[in-house]
DNA sequence: CTGAAAGCGCTAACAT
DNA sequence: ATGTTAGCGCTTTCAG
């Protein structure tokens, strides 16, 4: 039943030419190989007529290029990552590449499995948001001369292409903004994890604490929360025990969501008094009440820079020495949640 | 520099056996082909030692199976789609398949390009959320005997596997709920597009209008809004011109977001009086004020059913006749935005 | 200008 | 029980 795909050989036979000729013509090398216009057109016409498409698999096997890139994120269903994915998709297609997305759930085991999996498939490059323990796996990719660039997080001291934001600065930006609006006792809510981007965010907070000499007040939730409910409990306790806080910087999207749920349910008055800032924007933050001020990562730019570095690696087969890094700045989307109290309704 | 990948041939040579033997062992056919334990172990050990991975590309070329599935959605960065993607990813990996995600932006042209692209790559199956004009392209896939199943939307009368929700019922469910809470003049805000799922939602609304004999009041925004701003203008005008409305059913996520922005900015009192329901949930709807009642699609189940149908197609190479459809029910996540007025604070 | 043929890495029917 | 060998569909060198 399966209609057999037509191959280059079939075309050659049908047209009484050799496969070589067909291949040359198809690959636009007709001129270069000085194949007659007549033959060239005959082939082109026929190919169009039967709507022939070369078998990419065979092509890849032969050329060693699969034109496939892999983007490995923590969880593709997370807003920040899915936005990133969308931008990568478009950028890659422009260049004739496809992108495979996959989620590693921040697990080393899953990350390694996935990398191996795609490596077997000879993908042409990796863009990886790495979990903490896969430094060696990534080094092994580099040794095989497979282009990799890291995104969002990196490994201290590793020689590798990397694109991220200035997390320390971003936190500072947030606290500065709070400070300017009269909030001078800010808490920092984050996750207890050794990811570089999280450490940077914490650092920025601590630095600001010194400069403005307020007392550090940080809550680090366990990475593997059993449930949202557990997270809410912890936050609730934290708010109860620290009534003096006048503002909060949430280090990720997800925490903001939990935090707002708790505030909304258990401290309905506080939600309008506290200064609130979240890392990573989301379209819906603007319709919360109060609308939430956000530290925004320049997603498009991040993707663009990553692609640049990656394609440089792809096009330069020799092991290069200088690895490019790009640290971008975040921007602040100011909304109601950080308005000075006197200005609020 | 590029370390040459070791091939089955290298292994054979090194071990003084034939490639066949290696291939059989690697494919777990040692028993079946009655290859001695000794040889089997020798091969297995060596393979493990040098960490050999077969070249999937070559394998695919040979077997005609790529173990790759494609999920084509409208926009991977949309919450509903990225959630779906995540579930598909997990389900597929369980079965040894990978999933390529791509976004068609609801454009026929892009859809067709993408389908051709992946078709050339011999993917093993397609899961497609189709744009309106690609019925023929999909038929051509079927003719080539390539497994396809449609999701979310379908083509009237087409013989094809399909998974979706009962949109008519879902709308009814929403309006019924509003009605029970004393809202009996609901509007319906949707997009002016001929997608089956949207038509179903409209139908449900109209049906309810007849049954409860309220006057239909629908707003259909153009599909290609120039900007969010334009959308907001239209909504604002609509709210102004229809002050008698006591509730709204938004037919998609995105519209809800626009609508809430408008309400928040221009009708701050109304936002607490209107009954509001949205199609498709989002984690952040629960922290809006009021928290928004949502009609939830059973994403996990949808993915599961789709996979079932798809794998049935994949494993049954002969053109089957009976096509399976699965229409699932939505559920209602009741929140503040539809509380009867008397109950509200 | 065009064709023959080798070979990418793997599978599996057919020999031994 | 193991080996030989013919492809899968394509690119590309080398010979006309």
Q: Is A66's Cβ below 8 Å from some Cβ in B?
A: yes
Distance, in Å, from the CA atom of B39 to the CA atom of B23, rounded to the nearest integer, reads 12
Q: Which chain B residue has the Cα nearest residue A60?
A: B57
- In chain B, which among 95-134 make CB contacts under 8 A with chain A? 98-103, 116-122
The band of B199, judged by pLDDT with boundaries at 50, 70 and 90, is: very high
User: How does pLDDT run across B316-338, given as a tens digit for each residue?
Assistant: 756 555 689 999 999 999 999 99
Q: What is the mean pLDDT of residues B17-45?
A: 89
What are the extents of the domains in chain B?
A: 8-54, 66-164+299-328, 167-297+332-344
| Residues linked to residue A165 through DSSP beta bridges, in sequence order | A328
* Whole-number pLDDT of residue B233: 96
Residue A87's pLDDT band (cuts 50, 70, 90):
very high
What element of type H or E holds B218?
A: strand B218-222
Is it the case that residue B97 has pLDDT exceeding 50? Answer: yes
Closest Cα in chain B to A1: B318
Contact A70/A118 with Cβ under 8 angstroms? yes
pLDDT higher at B332 or B29: B332
Chain A residues within 8 A of B118 when measuring between CB atoms: 98
More confident residue, A76 or A316: A76
Taking an 8 Å cut-off on Cβ atoms, the answer to whether B3 and A143 are in contact is yes
pLDDT of A2 reads 44
Q: What is the DSSP string of B257-304?
A: HHHHHHHHHH-TTGGGTSEEEEES--GGGGGBSSPPEEEEP-HHHHHH
- Which fold, A167-297+332-344? Rossmann fold (3.40.50)
Q: Do A86 and B103 touch (CB under 8 A)?
A: yes
Q: Where does the pLDDT of residue B1 fall: very low under 50, low under 70, confident under 90, or very high at 90 and above?
A: very low
Tell me how far the alpha carbon of residue A317 is from its chain's centroid.
Answer: 25
| Helices A56-63, B56-63: crossing angle, 10 deg rounding | 140
Q: Comparing A8-54 with A167-297+332-344, is the CATH topology the same?
A: no
CATH class of A8-54: mainly alpha
pLDDT of residue A230: 96
DSSP assignments along A8-63, one per residue: HHHHHHHHTS-HHHHHHHHTT-TTTTT--HHHHHHHHHHHHHHT----HHHHHHHH
Tell me, which fold does domain A66-164+299-328 have in CATH?
Rossmann fold (3.40.50)
Q: Look at the block and give the residue holding tokens 């499995």.
A: A113
How many degrees, rounded to 5, is the angle at CA B195 between CA B180 and CA B325?
85
The pTM of the full predicted model, rounded to 2 decimals, is: 0.90
Give the model confidence (pLDDT) of A199-213 as tens digits: 999 999 999 999 999
Q: Do A117 and B103 touch (CB under 8 A)?
A: no
Spatial distance between the Cα atoms of B35 and B55, rounded to a whole number of angstroms: 23
Beta-bridge partners for A190: A220
CA of B54 to C1' of D15 (A): 35
Is residue B86 within 8 angstroms of chain A, CB to CB? yes
Sheet holding B218-222, edge to edge: B218-222, B186-192, B247-250, B275-279, B293-296, B331-333
Mean pLDDT of chain B: 92
pLDDT of residue B291: 94
The pLDDT of residue A306 = 97
């Amino acid at each position: 039943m399966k209609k057999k795909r037509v191959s280059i050989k079939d075309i050659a036979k049908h047209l009484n030419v050799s496969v070589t000729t067909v291949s040359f013509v198809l690959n636009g090398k007709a001129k270069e190989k000085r194949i007659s216009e007549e033959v060239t057109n005959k082939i082109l016409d026929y190919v169009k007529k039967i709507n022939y498409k070369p078998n990419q698999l065979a092509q890849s096997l032969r050329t060693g290029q699969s034109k496939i890139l892999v983007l490995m994120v923590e969880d593709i269903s997370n807003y920040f990552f899915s936005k990133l994915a969308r931008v990568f998709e478009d950028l890659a297609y422009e260049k004739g590449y496809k992108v495979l997305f996959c989620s590693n759930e921040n697990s080393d085991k899953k990350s390694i499995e996935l990398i191996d999996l795609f490596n077997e498939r000879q993908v042409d490059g990796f863009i990886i948001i790495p979990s903490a323990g896969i430094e060696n796996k990534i080094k092994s990719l580099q040794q095989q001369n497979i282009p990799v660039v890291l995104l969002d997080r990196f490994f201290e001291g590793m020689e590798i292409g990397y694109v991220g934001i200035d997390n320390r600065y971003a936190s500072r930006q947030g606290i500065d903004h709070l400070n300017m609006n009269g909030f001078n006792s800010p808490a920092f809510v984050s996750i207890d994890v050794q990811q570089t981007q999280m450490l940077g965010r914490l650092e920025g907070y601590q630095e600001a604490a010194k400069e403005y000499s307020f007392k550090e007040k940080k809550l680090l939730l366990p990475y593997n929360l059993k449930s949202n409910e557990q997270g809410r409990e912890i936050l609730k306790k934290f708010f109860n025990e620290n009534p003096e806080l006048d503002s909060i910087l949430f280090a990720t999207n997800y925490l903001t969501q939990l935090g707002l749920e708790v505030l909304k349910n258990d401290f309905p008055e506080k939600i309008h008094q506290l200064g609130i800032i979240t890392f990573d924007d989301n379209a819906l933050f603007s319709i919360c009440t109060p609308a939430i001020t956000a530290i925004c990562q320049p997603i498009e730019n991040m993707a663009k820079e990553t692609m640049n570095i990656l394609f440089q690696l792809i096009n330069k087969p020799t092991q290069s020495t200088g690895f490019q890094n790009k640290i971008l700045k975040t921007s602040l989307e100011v909304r109601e949640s950080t308005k000075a109290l006197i200005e609020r309704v």
